[in-house]
Amino acid sequence: MDSSTLLLYFDDEQDSASRLAAAAKFPMAAIERHRFPDGELKLRLPEQLPSKVVLLRTLDKPNEKLLELLLVARTLRTMGVADVTLVAPYLAYMRQDIAFRAGEVVSQRVIGAFLADLFDAVITVDPHLHRVATLGEAVPAKRPVVLSGAPLLADWIAGQRPQALLIGPDEESAQWVGQAAARHGFDYAVCRKVRHGDRQVEIELPVVNVQGRPVVLLDDMASSGHTLVAATQLLIAAGARSVDVAVTHALFADNAIEIIKNAGVGAIWSTDCVLHPTNAVTMASAIAGALIT
């Protein structure tokens, strides 16, 4: 076991931390957390720390977690830790990368600079980048590292639906669908999406024959589920034998699972970047590989 690096985690991510610590062969320790009656947080770190610390914190429901990162990272520095890595399997606030109207906050720019100021390295999985080509542009840390859940999801799909046709629900999903398809020689295509709001989208199917075929919709994330619903309804109407869903980040807000299932989706599979009952694939070994190289 490499005792020169310590993995720190919060109690709500203990299972994920255990998988990562086992894969990386790092010792692990929990950050104690107490909430005062007025809602303020009190955090306590281990008294003895090595020179290198890895902090695991996935950033779904991110607002309070970002405050936790600030408190922990600044305290680690005062305690003499020289190298601090953030492992954020899901990285929040990446989609807003441009101001569409005067006065809009470009959250990617603000949060990216915030994280780069706190951490020497930031490791994440399939960040939701649009007009920015690299993680380093969004999060200008010394060592920005991007991993992908697509290859591991492809392995899972190959075991569950070996003859699957992979469909990306919109143009942005093309990079992940292409990776997954190449790994196992799946046929694939990508839909066209027109968004009219957070919960209102129009989908246009690609020119591909889905009649009688098992289809898997694959994307980096699912939140409201409305894009998946629209694509599923069109695929079923076009004669698909079955429609399943595979995503890296299982955000699934409100009743998203219910509406996706009601649309006709069979199985829903996700990585463990965000803790969810649909988790089927763990990213622990891939993240460990990035930590120890």
**Any idea which residues carry the catalytic annotation?**
193
Burial of 73 (0-12, 13-18, 19+ CB in 10 A): buried
User: Cα–Cα distance between 6 and 14 in angstroms, integer?
Assistant: 14
Task: Please give the full DSSP string across 240-284, using - where no structure is assigned.
Answer: -SEEEEEEEEE---TTHHHHHHHTT---EEEETTS--TTEEE--H
Tokens of 8: 């720190």
* CA proximity to 87, closest of 47, 53, 63: 53
Which amino acid is located at 10 in the chain? F
User: Cα–Cα distance between 190 and 45 in angstroms, integer?
Assistant: 46
